[in-house]
């Protein structure tokens, strides 16, 4: 019996006319350079091979480089990186979104950032830079754009109006935001309806665009780390870890075993606090004031634990290329583990109380449904995807920092509604407590930072992390002086915002804030 052909062999055999070169590098990743339109190969990778689009990166050199990364959802499935090169005069490329819908927002963002066009895309423009404020043609990520020069102030277009889909008699569009009460970040939602049910939900984001990727250019890796860590404070440790992972790959250094273990513990501590915060938000959206307060107390306890244990409530300043900036004593580690002992009991109590509240369940069950097929087509990630049966967790599928040494279960729910998403949050929160205990039980002694890396490392790499919201990817190119040539972030919220409308459409107006809370999305991750 002949052996099953490898993915590399299938690519070189089936797509010989479409590719220039294909090889497999250290770590098992397959690198492919394509001749022209990559849509056919991308569709085959997504539909026939079951790979998921991690993101698309546009890089400007003396021409254009378009990079597409696909990764497997199962352990050992590997990843494939495609590269398309074109001369600088070419400013139009075939759209991938018709065949791989997960590329939809990736291409819209690239069009606004670089001013390149994707032929066949159904809707470009009015995305990052809203037409009523900025118009078209800003393209701030181009090399010719001077980041130190303030763009011309534009005035709102009085003739601008949102794009409408419904034209039936009695149809109207209700706008929510972008200004909200309290501490809610700016987001604009256009809800179209005939009657009380939302027929179309369209989120407009990027009202506080901060150009993190542009600001990183020309900075040292250490300085750019501050940007990676701060564009979403609620998941600061996860994003700083992914950035450091990319630097470590370029410099070919490994964090010491103690640093790897402590990184796992801190990642899980951050996930635990984030999930408890999401549970608090769901309770608040359903007007359960007592349950919201109970969850808020747990969240505050975790923030204080982080502050005592690490010196910062949101774990700033800990990750550095090569490990951690400071060691954490064995006594402090054991103390943290003991402080978590009663937390899973408190989570169980809260879970049990919520599951017995019929009024609470009525607001979540069979509300905000996202099917498995929809989650797959949109490339959803994290708890949102796992609640719809799309199971992938980078901690197991593409392990990092020694995660393969710890017992970890990944939840799978198939209802795809708000209650399924809540169940996933509770399950993963308990899992995080268990992983932290495993780390502390087997913690080894030794340094927490590798020897200093060369100052002028160059090259490119991608770092990834299963953040609390799901898979996040950080691409990094360093030039010959060790400075950032290109930095690209694809966080979980950017991916899941793309599919949020699926859950909101077909349900009543009063369900909208509850559905939104079950997605636990971050606006700041998009305003990067």
Look at residue 168 and tell me if it is in a domain.
Answer: no
Q: How does DSSP assign 214-278, residue by residue?
A: HHHTTSBHHHHHHHHHHSSGGGHHHHHHHHHHHHHHHHT----HHHHHHHHHHHHHHHHHHHHHH
Mean pLDDT of 480-486: 93
pLDDT for 2 equals 45
The whole-number pLDDT of residue 46 equals 96
521 neighbors 187 (Cβ within 8 angstroms): no
Domain boundary among 119, 143, 178: 119
CA separation for the pair 219, 250 (Å, rounded): 16
CA-based nearest residue to 284, from 272, 271, 273, 294: 294
Same domain, yes or no, for 229 and 110?
A: no
Residues 248 and 357 in one domain: yes
What would the DSSP string read from start to end of 287-328? T-HHHHHHHHHHHHHHHHHHHHHHSSTT-TT-EETTEESS--
Average pLDDT, the chain: 92
Residue 3 has pLDDT above 60, yes or no: no
Q: Taking 80 as the threshold, does the pLDDT of residue 188 lie above it?
A: yes
- Read off the pLDDT of each residue in 423-431 and give the average, rounded to a whole number: 97
Last residue of a domain, one of 119, 154, 170: 119
- The arithmetic mean of pLDDT across residues 20-41, rounded, is 91
Q: What is the mean pLDDT of residues 318-335?
A: 94
Strand 319-320 and strand 188-193: pairing? unpaired
Gap between the terminal Cα atoms of the chain: 52
Q: What is the CATH number of the domain that holds 257?
A: 1.10.645.10
Owning domain of residue 385: 213-517
pTM for this predicted structure: 0.95
Provide mean pLDDT across the span 224-233: 94
For residues 177 and 322, the model is more confident at: 322
Is residue 245 situated within a structural domain? yes
133, part of any domain: no
Of 509 and 363, the one with more pLDDT: 363
What tens digit of pLDDT does each residue of 255-292 get?
Answer: 999 999 999 999 999 999 999 999 999 999 999 999 99
Contact (Cβ atoms closer than 8 angstroms) between residue 43 and residue 461: no
Domain contains 146: no
Task: Report if residue 159 sits inside a domain.
Answer: no
- pLDDT above 60: residue 1: no
Could you tell me if 111 and 245 lie in one domain? no
Asked if the structure places residue 138 within a domain, the reply is no
> With 90 as the cut, is the pLDDT of residue 406 above it?
yes
Domain boundary residue, one of 119, 149, 172 = 119
Do the domain assignments include residue 163?
no
pLDDT per residue as tens digits for the range 115-152: 999 999 988 888 998 876 676 778 999 998 887 777 76
232 lies in the same domain as 115? no
Percent of the chain with pLDDT over 90: 76
């Amino acid at each position: 019996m002949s052996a099953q052909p490898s993915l590399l062999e299938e690519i070189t055999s089936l797509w010989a006319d479409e590719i220039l070169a294909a090889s497999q590098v250290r770590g098992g990743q397959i690198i492919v350079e394509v001749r022209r339109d990559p849509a056919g190969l991308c569709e085959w990778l997504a539909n026939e091979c079951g790979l998921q689009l991690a993101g698309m990166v546009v890089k400007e050199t003396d021409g254009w480089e378009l990079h597409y990364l696909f990764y497997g959802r199962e352990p050992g499935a590997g990843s494939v990186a495609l590269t398309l090169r074109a001369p600088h005069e070419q400013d139009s490329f075939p759209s991938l979104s018709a065949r791989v819908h997960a590329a939809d927002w990736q291409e819209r963002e690239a069009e606004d950032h670089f001013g390149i066009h994707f032929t066949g895309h159904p809707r470009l423009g009015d995305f990052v830079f809203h037409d009523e404020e900025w118009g078209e043609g800003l393209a701030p990520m181009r090399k010719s754009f001077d980041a130190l020069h303030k763009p011309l102030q534009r005035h709102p277009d009085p003739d601008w109006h949102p794009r409408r889909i419904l034209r039936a008699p009695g149809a109207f569009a209700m706008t929510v935001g972008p200004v909200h009460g309290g501490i809610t970040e700016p987001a604009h939602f256009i809800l179209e309806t005939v009657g009380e049910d939302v027929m179309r939900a369209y989120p407009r984001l990027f009202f506080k665009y901060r150009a993190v990727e542009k600001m990183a250019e020309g900075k040292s890796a250490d300085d750019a780390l501050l940007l990676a860590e701060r564009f979403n404070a609620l998941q600061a440790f996860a994003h700083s870890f992914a950035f450091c992972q990319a630097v470590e790959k370029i410099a070919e250094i490994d964090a010491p075993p103690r640093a790897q273990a402590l990184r796992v513990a801190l990642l899980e501590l951050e996930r635990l606090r984030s999930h408890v915060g999401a549970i608090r938000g769901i309770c608040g959206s359903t007007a359960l004031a007592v349950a919201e307060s109970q969850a808020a107390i747990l969240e505050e306890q975790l923030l204080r634990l982080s502050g005592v244990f690490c010196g910062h409530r949101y774990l700033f300043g800990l990750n550095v290329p090569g490990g951690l900036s400071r060691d954490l004593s064995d006594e402090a580690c054991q103390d943290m583990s003991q402080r978590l002992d009663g937390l899973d009991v408190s989570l169980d109590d809260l879970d049990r109380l919520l599951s017995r509240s019929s009024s609470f369940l009525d607001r979540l069950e069979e509300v905000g449904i996202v099917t498995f097929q929809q989650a797959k087509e949109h490339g959803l990630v994290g708890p949102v995807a796992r609640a719809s049966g799309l199971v992938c967790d980078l901690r197991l599928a593409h392990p990092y920092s020694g995660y393969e040494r710890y017992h970890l279960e990944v939840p799978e729910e198939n209802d795809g509604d708000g209650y399924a998403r809540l169940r996933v949050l509770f399950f993963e929160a308990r899992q995080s407590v268990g992983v932290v205990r495993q780390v502390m039980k087997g913690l080894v002694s030794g340094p927490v930072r590798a020897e200093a890396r060369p100052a002028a490392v160059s090259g490119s790499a991608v770092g990834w992390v299963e953040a609390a919201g799901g898979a996040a990817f950080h691409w990094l190119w360093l030039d010959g002086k060790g400075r950032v040539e290109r930095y690209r972030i694809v966080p979980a919220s950017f991916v899941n915002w793309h599919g949020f409308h699926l859950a909101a459409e077909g349900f009543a107006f009063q369900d909208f804030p509850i559905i939104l809370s079950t997605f636990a999305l971050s606006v700041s991750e998009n305003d990067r």
